[in-house]
Copies of this chain bind each other. A is one copy, B any other.
């Protein structure tokens, strides 16, 4: 079985992907994965010292990287040294997963068959793709679209006008009206006249007991997954970019935005309209004030506020100074 249930995969060998590289090995590429998840016969990529600790331990069979970074990688691994890692990654991902670079609408939708979902309640005009599984006692509101291969657990309440694609949803999850989950995120290699669209082959995983309010957008992962941890609650109009991983028991207020690949710990609360930059690590039990702009990592248990966000103590000091 293919490891990716959402995107059609082509069987291509390593040397076909990189015909000009002097690679010593060759294998049929099973998948493309991040450093810490890649296994035998899979390709990974390594483009920043930030991920050095993961690079050292990767189990991938080949890795796209730069001349500078190659030394951190294990010896028994094919190093594909290139000038632009993300460009090469986009290029081969497009070859292996040709339809993941654009959000092609699912054209296999149909009305749900009573026989396939006999313990699920549906509103009017619900559209369901192929191989969709929905757990018992779940309810799907009117005009909602569940695209092919999506999995929804039991006791879930999905509102009206919701679109779910490329997603795995746990049990007892509430998703309110008008949420759009699993679409392709904002990823491309800028070119002057016509950008190269980065194929996003990841998915969205929504764990048990999550509640997502109206009008949220949650993009699927690019190579890794986007994750909403169990018992985490999102208010209206929250934007979650690709690869963001929010851990359990978090409280995210309205209109908060997360840029790509940021990781949020457990029990984090974030006030309305705060923005979290990309590729950050936010610790456990952190509190971020409403309207803040977070541009660097935050350790466990900190309270921060402001733009750029600083500790609450510092924030109050600055504003006291301003008012003198």
A197 to B107, CA, bound (A): 37
In this complex, the member of A123, A176, A249, A291 whose beta carbon has the largest number of chain B beta carbons within 10 angstroms is A291
Closest to A251 in B: B190
Q: Quick one: given A105-B142, A231-B193, are A215 and B217 in contact (CB under 8 Å)?
A: yes
Contact of A177 among B102, B159, B180 (CB under 8 A): B180
Q: Check A237 against B236 for contact (C-beta < 8 Å).
A: no
Given contacts A272-B275, A275-B273, A290-B275, contact A163 B161 (CB under 8 A): yes
Contact between A159 and B105, CB atoms less than 8 A apart: yes
Least Cβ–Cβ distance between A196 and chain B, in angstroms = 11
The answer, yes or no, to whether A151 is at the interface (CB within 8 Å) is: no
What is the bound-complex CA distance between A176 and B105, given in angstroms? 9
Whether B183 contacts A176 by the Cβ 8 Å rule is: yes
Say if the beta carbon of A233 comes within 8 Å of chain B.
Answer: yes
Whether A235 contacts B186 by the Cβ 8 Å rule is yes
Give CA–CA (A192, B250) in the complex, Å: 10
Q: Residue on B with the closest CB to A249?
A: B192
- The reply to whether the CB of A168 lies closer than 8 angstroms to some CB of chain B is no
Interface check A58, CB cutoff 8 A: no
Copies of this chain held together in the complex: 3
Residues in B whose Cβ lies below 8 Å from that of A123: 105-107, 109, 127
* Whole-angstrom CA separation of A319 from B180 in the bound complex: 37
Query: A249 to B239, alpha carbons, bound, how many Å?
Result: 23
A235 CB to nearest B CB, Å? 4
Indicate if A241 sits at the interface (CB-CB under 8 A).
Answer: yes
A110 and B139 contacting across the interface, CB-CB below 8 Å: no
Residues of chain A from 190 to 248 with CB closer than 8 A to chain B in the complex: 190, 192-195, 197, 209, 211, 213-215, 217, 219, 230-231, 233, 235-237, 239, 241
**Chain B residues within an 8 Å CB radius of A235:** 185-186, 241
Mark out the residues of chain A between 92 and 132 whose CB falls within 8 Å of any chain B CB in the assembled complex: 102-107, 109-110, 121, 123-125, 127
Q: Closest chain B residue to A175 by CB distance?
A: B103
25 A-B pairs within 8 Å (CB atoms) are namely: A103-B159, A103-B174, A104-B157, A105-B160, A106-B123, A123-B127, A160-B163, A172-B194, A176-B183, A177-B183, A178-B217, A183-B213, A184-B213, A188-B233, A190-B251, A214-B217, A214-B219, A239-B255, A255-B275, A275-B291, A290-B293, A291-B293, A307-B307, A314-B323, A318-B322
Instruction: Give A contacts to B, CB under 8 Å.
Output: 102-107, 109-110, 121, 123-125, 127, 139-143, 145, 157-161, 163, 172, 174, 176-178, 180, 183-186, 188, 190, 192-195, 197, 209, 211, 213-215, 217, 219, 230-231, 233, 235-237, 239, 241, 249, 251, 253-255, 257, 259, 272-273, 275, 277, 290-291, 293, 295, 306-308, 310, 314, 318-319, 321-323
Closest 7 CB pairs of A and B: A105-B141, A291-B293, A186-B235, A217-B236, A273-B275, A180-B214, A239-B254
